[in-house]
């Protein structure tokens, strides 16, 4: 056995034994409401981050194709050498305008945006205080910086205040949180965070990957949901979920911050430019959503229809009226069996259990899309009721 195999095999066995092996089901169609699985069966997809239903939108695909013809497949360069095209700058301007900010900077992903922010901004004289359930990319980004690092209990404002009081001597204090927590569909208590930030002169950072484009009155995300537009200092988000689903991420905020990131942020400086088709798709999405709530309104209606009927049928759904609808089952094995049964019924959903979510809080996470028709939602509801009764989850 090679040294590599010798080291890796026990790890793989341990993952299998723990029941946490992640299987990848193959689909052979585009990402959309009706997908085709590798074995040829069709299913209604209820587990993509395709919130606005734009991943296979014809206008967006046309824009991407035009960009491919006009600007080529890729840049073979980082931005500061010869990887900046007019469309990159144009998209950054559109993103900043959408969020009402001075500037924005593009990354290959939001994972990169999170990896590149904290180290570039914070020094050893600073402190970052983050929610304990933040996304892995925020955790990793924070690990890379030299600031003092503290975690406050999930959405616990008393604990956050304690940590702010304990770090008064720092040059900068940055509070970092997801806008919406993707396993629970719950929202960070932003008004209270902003209040504490004002009281203790701290800065605020929100990762709005599960909110940008579709959450809040005009789809501007968590600050829009709470009527606090423009109040967060730094917003990071993704182009890989609601905003077309291709790839890319960004930071938006004050121009000095964005200038600093262009000079210092390592994933920006040392990784290839976003490919033109991805830039053009996101740019088209920005045109479609900046002055219209058409897709957002469809999503809100579909979310209400699903949530209200699931509750009426007797299911427990977590979350704050968000298109992430975790259907609480409890037992891990039952959850996996429930999800498999749903797929047999043509509804593609995935079960999540420990350690991704707390023990005994296993769930099926349904994600609603603006592309789901009333018929699609009713199909899913009927299947949930059938399987729920069969498994004695509801009466």
Ligand X SMILES: Cc1ncc(COP(=O)(O)O)c(C=O)c1O
Instruction: State which of positions 223-252 bind ligand X (CB under 6 A).
Output: 238, 240, 249
Nearer to ligand X, 127 or 188 (CB): 188
154 tagged catalytic: no
Min CB(390)–ligand X separation in Å: 32
Active site residue 241: yes
* Among the residue ranges 2-10, 108-116, 302-310, 318-326, the one whose residues contact ligand X (CB under 6 A): 108-116
* 365 is a site residue for ligand X (CB under 6 A): no
For ligand X, the closer of residues 57 and 212 by Cβ is 212
The mark string for 48-87 relative to ligand X (x by CB under 6 A, - otherwise) is ----------------------------------------
Q: Of residues 96, 147, 209, 393, which one binds ligand X by CB under 6 A?
A: 209
Q: Is residue 322 annotated as part of the catalytic site, yes or no?
A: no
CA distances to 186, 202, 252, 279, 284 from 66, rounded to whole Å, are 39, 44, 27, 11, 11
For the bound state, the minimum distance from the C-beta of residue 324 to ligand X, rounded and expressed in Å, comes to 10
Please identify which residue in 50, 182, 251, 369 interacts with ligand X, judged by CB under 6 A.
182
Binding segment for ligand X (CB under 6 A), chosen from 4-12, 107-115, 139-147, 367-375, is 107-115
Residue 207 binds to ligand X (criterion: CB under 6 A):
yes
Does 131 bind ligand X (CB under 6 A)? Our answer is no
Q: Closest separation between CB of residue 4 and ligand X, Å? A: 28
* Span of 105-113, 141-149, 255-263, 336-344 interacting with ligand X by CB under 6 A: 105-113
Question: Which residues have a catalytic role annotated?
Answer: 182, 210, 241
Give residues in contact with ligand X (CB under 6 A).
109-111, 114, 135, 137, 178, 182, 207, 209-210, 238, 240, 249
């Amino acid at each position: 056995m090679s040294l590599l195999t010798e080291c890796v095999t026990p790890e793989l066995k341990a993952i299998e034994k723990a029941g946490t092996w992640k299987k990848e089901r193959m689909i052979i169609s585009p990402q959309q409401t009706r997908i085709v699985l590798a074995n040829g069966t069709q299913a209604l997809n209820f587990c993509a981050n395709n919130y606005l239903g734009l991943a296979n939108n014809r206008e967006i695909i046309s824009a991407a194709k035009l960009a491919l013809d006009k600007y080529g497949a890729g840049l073979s360069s980082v931005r500061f050498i010869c990887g900046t095209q007019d469309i990159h700058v144009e998209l950054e301007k559109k993103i900043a305008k959408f969020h009402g900010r001075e500037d924005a900077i593009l990354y290959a992903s939001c994972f990169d945006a999170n990896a590149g922010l904290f180290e570039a901004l914070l020094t050893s004289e600073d402190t970052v205080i983050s929610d304990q359930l933040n996304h892995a990319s925020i955790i990793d980004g924070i690990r890379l910086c030299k600031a003092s690092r503290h975690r406050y209990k999930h959405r616990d404002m008393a604990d956050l205040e304690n940590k702010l009081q304990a770090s008064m001597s720092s040059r900068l204090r940055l509070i970092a949180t997801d806008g919406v927590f993707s396993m629970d569909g719950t929202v960070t208590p932003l008004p209270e965070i902003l209040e504490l930030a004002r009281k203790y002169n701290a800065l605020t950072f929100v990762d709005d990957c599960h909110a940008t484009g579709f959450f809040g009155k005009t789809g501007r995300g968590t600050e829009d949901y709470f009527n606090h537009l423009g109040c967060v200092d730094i917003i990071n988000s993704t182009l890989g979920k609601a905003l077309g689903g291709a790839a890319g991420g960004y930071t938006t905020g004050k121009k000095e911050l964005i200038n600093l990131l262009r000079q210092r942020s390592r994933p920006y400086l040392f990784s290839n430019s976003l490919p033109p088709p991805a830039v053009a798709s996101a740019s088209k999405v920005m045109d479609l959503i900046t002055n219209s709530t058409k897709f957002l309104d469809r999503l809100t209606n579909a979310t209400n229809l699903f949530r209200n009927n699931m509750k009426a049928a007797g299911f427990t759904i977590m979350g704050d009226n968000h298109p992430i609808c975790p259907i609480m089952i409890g037992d891990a094995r039952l959850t996996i069996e429930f999800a498999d049964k749903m797929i047999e019924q043509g509804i593609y959903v995935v079960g999540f259990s420990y350690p991704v979510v707390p023990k005994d809080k296993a769930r099926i996470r349904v994600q609603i899309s603006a592309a789901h028709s009333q018929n699609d939602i009713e199909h899913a509801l009927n299947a949930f009721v059938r399987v729920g009764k069969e498994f004695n989850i509801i009466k």
